[in-house]
Amino acid sequence: MKFFIDTANFSEIKKIIDVFPIDGVTTNPTLISQTGESIQSLIPKICELVQKPVSAEVIETEKDKMYQEALQLSKLHKNVVVKLPLTKDGLAVCRLLKEKEIPTNVTLCFSPLQALRAAQSGATMVSIFVGRLDDIDQSGMQVVADTLEIFSNYSLKTEVLVASIRHQKHILDSALLGTDIVTAPYKVLNQIIQHPLTDIGLKKFLESAQALQKK
Ligand code: E4P
């Protein structure tokens, strides 16, 4: 399973790649707006830093304008993955970008059939927002499980990207289901390697080592 970081915060990305292998970055207009920088200046910097796929999202909603914006975004850096909304216009643009071999991440997916249509439109990856489904009392992970089964039934190459991750259990469940990619916030990526017994065990080992030195 590939691990992406879900942030537009340059210093968070820098801190995480110094410690863990990271396979990509996902951003969205909300995350970009929190940085106070423009997408045009920020995305190339992130791409240069990580040298991995970086999703950059369109904000146009009408097909022709969205297509032009998508082309501009893809020119920002060779590692840009154009993020498109799961709408009629978004899927139409997805097909056009597929013809040009521009990678895409179809976002805001909340059902297996939406995911199927995104895959059939040539999406490189499809982002299923599990946290937002859980928020409305639906099972985000069931949508992921059903999507994986459908993609396997038809040998679809689109990668299933689990997004809107709120906690470690979402990541564990994704790995158990065989998800291709998870994208998680900085905080959750750090939490997954932590365990109280690791801290207690290390403390005891250090105490033993110090006691030995005193002898
Ligand atoms: C995915 O690419 C999105 O940026 C993200 O996971 C959205 O998550 P949220 O529901 O926490 O906003």
pTM, two decimals, is 0.95
- Cα of 56 vs centre of ligand 1, distance in Å, is 13
Pairwise CA distance, residues 161 & 65, whole Å: 26
Which of 2, 5, 6 gets mutated to test ligand 1 (max ligand atoms within 8 A of its CB)? Answer: 6
- Cα of 205 vs centre of ligand 1, distance in Å, is 40
CA-CA-CA-CA torsion sign (130, 135, 139, 143): negative
- The per-residue pLDDT for range 128-154, each reduced to its tens digit, is 999 999 999 999 999 999 999 999 999
CA-wise closest residue to 62 among 42, 83, 87, 27:
87
- Cα of 189 vs centre of ligand 1, distance in Å, is 14
For residue 55, which atom of ligand 1 is closest to its CA?
2
Closest residue by CA, ligand 1 atom 8: 164
For residue 27, which atom of ligand 1 is closest to its CA?
4
* 6 ligand 1 Cβ < 6 A: yes
Catalytic amino acids?
A: 83
* 174 ligand 1 Cβ < 6 A: no
The number of helices, as runs of H, and strands, as runs of E, in the chain is: 11, 8
Residue 76 has pLDDT above 90, yes or no: yes
Structure tokens at 24: 């990509």
* 164 ligand 1 Cβ < 6 A: yes
| Beta-strand relationship, 80-85 and 24-26 | unpaired
The stretch 160-167 carries a mean pLDDT of 98
Model confidence at 214, pLDDT cuts 50, 70, 90, reads: confident
Pairwise CA distance, residues 21 & 31, whole Å: 22
Model confidence at 159, pLDDT cuts 50, 70, 90, reads: very high
Closest residue by CA, ligand 1 atom 2: 26
